């Protein structure tokens, strides 16, 4: 049975660089997934020309129907999964005129709930020693919220249900216009993105605690900040190449069996950061 790795949002930027790196270093089948099938297939063609042979499958992490179709494909073709890199993400920045209440729905729907739903659906397929990498961001800095909210995010007692309730309450508070008085005192431009990444990092720690309930399976989850990278999201003035941004996600995807650390951590440049 061949080993299988999946990268979401793999058609460009850091995701594409992760796919390319895994094609060279991972001993098995690498899936490049993308919401837009034509862009995903074009990215595969580009990698083929560079000597890499990923497979493509359409996947929209904001759609449960799409997620379940992808799970069915993996079940039928491979009967399991070894590596999941949750890279798909969105940031509606300064030039975007979408109202904040809509930005919150879209951004959290992909950056937080996309990770949550895809991982939950694919968990039954995870093989022993599976590795999950959640691409987060240093912009999910807990210094941007009240100490009370930060303490909740960091708590080693936080459950998935409680975290989901926090994220849903945040969305509700934004729509009601009361989010600032509830502790989410950030500039509107990056509010949705910052909170989505706080949630993604906290979720990684929650997921690790869940998987640790079955220690023999040795499933490891980590969150990663790739740094400020020259992508559509990061902009042309960013200091890092996509290859540099992909280094730590690839490192985490290829952690050896029974590694003691990092497990349920937040990293940048292969170093564990405080959250």
SS3 237: coil
- The answer to whether 58 and 32 are in contact (CB under 8 A) is no
User: What is the distance between the alpha carbons of residues 86 and 6, in angstroms, rounded to a whole number?
Assistant: 8
Token pair, residue 194, equals 């910052």
> Are the C-beta atoms of residues 6 and 83 closer than 8 Å to each other?
yes
Catalytic residue among 31, 190, 193, 251: 193
The H-assigned helical ranges of the chain are: 13-25, 37-48, 64-77, 100-111, 113-122, 147-154, 160-176, 188-211, 242-253
Give yes or no: 193 in active site.
yes
β-sheet bridge partners, residue 86: 134
| Alpha-carbon distances of 81 from 4, 88, 241, rounded to whole Å | 5, 18, 29
- Looking only at the bridges linking them, the beta strands covering 271-273 and 266-268 are antiparallel
Asked whether the beta carbons of 60 and 35 are under 8 A apart, the reply is yes
Neighbours of 37 (CB within 10 A): 14
Other residues' Cβ atoms within 10 Å of the Cβ of residue 138: 15
Can you tell me the distance from the alpha carbon of 19 to that of 87, in angstroms, rounded to the nearest whole number?
10
The CA distance from 115 to 166, in Å, is 16
Active site residues: 193
């Amino acid at each position: 049975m061949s080993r299988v790795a999946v990268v979401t949002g793999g058609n460009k930027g850091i995701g594409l660089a992760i796919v390319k790196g895994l094609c060279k270093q991972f001993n098995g089948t690498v899936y490049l997934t993308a919401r837009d099938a034509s862009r995903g297939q074009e990215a595969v063609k580009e990698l083929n020309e560079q000597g890499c042979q990923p497979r493509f499958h359409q996947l929209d992490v904001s759609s449960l129907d799409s997620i379940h179709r992808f799970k069915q494909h993996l079940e039928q073709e491979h009967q399991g999964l070894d590596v999941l890199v949750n890279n798909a993400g969105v940031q509606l920045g300064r030039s975007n005129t979408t109202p904040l209440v809509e930005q919150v729905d879209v951004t959290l729907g992909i950056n937080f709930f996309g990770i949550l739903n895809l991982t939950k659906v694919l968990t039954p397929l995870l093989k022993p020693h599976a590795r999950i990498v959640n691409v987060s961001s240093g912009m999910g800095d807990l210094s941007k919220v009240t100490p009370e909210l930060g303490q909740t995010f960091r708590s080693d007692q936080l459950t998935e249900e409680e975290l989901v309730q926090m994220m849903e309450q945040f969305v509700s508070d934004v729509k009601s216009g009361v989010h600032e008085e509830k502790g989410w005192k950030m500039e509107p431009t990056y509010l949705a993105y910052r909170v989505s990444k706080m949630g993604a990092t906290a979720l990684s720690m929650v997921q690790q605690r869940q998987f640790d309930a079955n220690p023999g399976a040795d499933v490891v989850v980590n969150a990663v900040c790739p740094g400020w990278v020259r992508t559509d999201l990061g902009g042309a003035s960013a200091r890092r190449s996509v290859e540099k941004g992909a280094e730590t996600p690839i490192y985490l995807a290829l952690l050896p069996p029974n590694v003691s650390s990092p497990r349920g951590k937040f990293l940048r440049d292969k170093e564990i950061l405080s959250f």
